[in-house]
Amino acid sequence: MKCRKCGEKAVVNLREHRLSLCKGCYIPWFVDYTEKTIKKFRMIDRGDRVLVAVSGGKDSLALWDVLNELGYETFGLYIHLGIDYDGYSDVSLQKSKQFAERIGKKLVVVDVEKEVGAGIPELRGITRRPVCSVCGMTKRYYMNRIAMELGASVLATGHNLDDEVSQLLGNILNWNIDYLIQQSPVLPAREEGLKKKVKPFCYFTEKQTLLYTVLRNIDYVEMECPFSVGATSIFNKDILNQLEHRSPGIKRRFYDGFLNNKHVFLKDVVDEIGLRNCSNCGMPTVNEVCSFCKTKERVRSVVQ
Ligand code: SF4
Ligand code: ZN
């Protein structure tokens, strides 16, 4: 198998793009393709200050690397979730710090245990909510809040095509209309205080981001979050990969088809979701007090 661009030995065959590439040509292709995605969805403009949410994993560090290579003004945010198993949160923090040093960019660290009074594993017990639900809420809250406080204009996350289609499949199977309305590679800013959110890797598969990370010698945390074991999203990814194996490009068609047609079947419900500002912290919410402040209050009442 030869590289379509230079004729050298190819390291990857991108079946859905009908493209084989060698190491030397893969890296620039990956960077260019990210830029095309950014332009297609008008994700980031020159002059934007981009806050990149990093977890120490391959996708988020690769995203920070590519945005940096493309010359965007970036800084990173690491949210320490207080997950102790095998030192997961500490190791992830260390990898994120190392990478920030490598590219010479600022990394902001938020420690949930210090901020809220309990880490994510304890919050699960206190709130009696599924761990990933309380974790997701906490991460969304801090990403938005730090972006506001530090004057970022865009918040970027490393979600890839596999993340997007597995979430889409899950939302369709359960007809989670509220989540379907919100699912998009770009969510505009809202004047109530929600920052613009973008996912520049939404067209790359997990394998493609992994290959970029390896070829660029990026040291990332290889262990998965212990709470992700057995998660439905992983099962859905497996099913979608089996479909992809039979029909190359099906994941991309599923995703693009949804984005192109969502206004048709969600047209009666796409009306703006009413937001106001939390009476306690000022962040946007649909209720009087936001879920994050309610959680914090709960921790306070349990710990005291
Ligand atoms: Fe949080 Fe881990 Fe769940 Fe991801 S898998 S949402 S990091 S608890
Ligand atoms: Zn609040």
Contact in structure between 103 and 97 (CB atoms under 8 Å): no
Residue 286 in domain = no
Indicate if ligand 1 lies below 6 Å from the C-beta of 228. Answer: yes
Please give the pLDDT value at position 268.
63
Statement: residue 263 has pLDDT above 90: no
Any domain includes 283 = no
Distance 225 CA to ligand 1 centre (A): 6
302 domain-assigned: no
Distance 226 CA to ligand 1 centre (A): 8
Ligand 1 atom showing the smallest separation from residue 135 Cα: 1
> Separation of 292 CA from ligand 2 center, angstroms?
6
pLDDT > 70 in the chain, percent: 97
Name the band, by pLDDT with cuts 50, 70 and 90, for residue 22. Answer: very high
CB proximity list for 118: less than 8 A, separation 6 or greater:
82, 112, 126, 299, 303
- Ligand 1 centroid vs 227 CA: distance in angstroms? 6
pLDDT band at 273 (very low <50, low <70, confident <90, very high): low
On whether residue 111 sits in a domain, the answer given is yes
Residue 7: inside a domain, yes or no?
no
Q: Looking at residue 304, what is its pLDDT?
A: 63
Confidence of residue 15 (pLDDT cuts 50, 70, 90): confident
Q: How many domains does the chain fold into?
A: 1
171: in domain: yes
Nearest CA to ligand 1 atom 6: 132
Q: Round to whole Å and give the CA distance between 221 and 165.
A: 23
Taking the centre of ligand 2 as the mean of its atom positions, its distance from the CA of residue 192, in whole angstroms, is: 13
Which atom of ligand 1 is nearest to 131's Cα? 8
CATH of the domain at 184: 3.40.50.620
Poorest-pLDDT segment among 68-72, 171-175, 230-234, 250-254 = 230-234
pLDDT higher than threshold 90 for residue 270: no
Contact status, residue 147 vs residue 196, Cβ threshold 8 Å: no
User: Domain range spanning residue 122?
Assistant: 29-272
The rounded radius of gyration (Å) of the Cα atoms in the chain is: 20
Mean pLDDT of the chain: 93
55 CA closest ligand 1 atom index: 7
User: Does 271 have pLDDT greater than 70?
Assistant: no
Q: What is the structure's pLDDT at 272? A: 60
What does the pLDDT look like over 128-167, one tens digit per residue?
889 999 999 999 999 999 999 999 999 999 999 999 999 9
Q: Whose CA is nearest to atom 5 of ligand 1?
A: 228
Q: What is the C-alpha separation between 48 and 155, in angstroms, rounded?
A: 10
Q: Whose CA is nearest to atom 4 of ligand 1?
A: 132
Residue 22 falls inside a structural domain: no
Q: Is the pLDDT of residue 296 over 70?
A: yes
Residue nearest to atom 3 of ligand 1 (CA): 132
The model's pLDDT over 75-128, given as tens digits with 9 standing for 90+, comes to 999 999 999 988 999 999 999 999 999 999 999 999 999 999 999 999 999 998
Residue 284 included in any domain: no
Residue of the CA atom closest to atom 8 of ligand 1: 132
Question: Which ligand minimizes its atom distance to the CA of 289?
Answer: 2
How far apart CA 61 and CA 95 sit, in angstroms, is: 9
DSSP H or E segment with residue 13: strand 12-14
pTM of the model: 0.93
Nearest to 266 by CA among 161, 168, 165: 168
Collect contacts of 118-127 with beta carbons under 8 A, ≥24 apart.
Answer: 118/82, 118/299, 118/303, 119/81, 119/82, 119/83, 119/84, 119/89, 120/81, 120/82, 120/83, 120/227, 121/82, 121/83, 121/84, 122/82, 123/295, 123/299, 126/295, 126/298, 126/299, 126/302, 127/295, 127/298
CA of 119 to the centre of ligand 2 (A): 18
Mean pLDDT of 200-213: 97
* pLDDT exceeds 90 at position 68: yes
* Burial call 7-36: b when 16+ CB within 10 Å, e when fewer: eeebbbebebbebbbbeebbbebbbebbbe
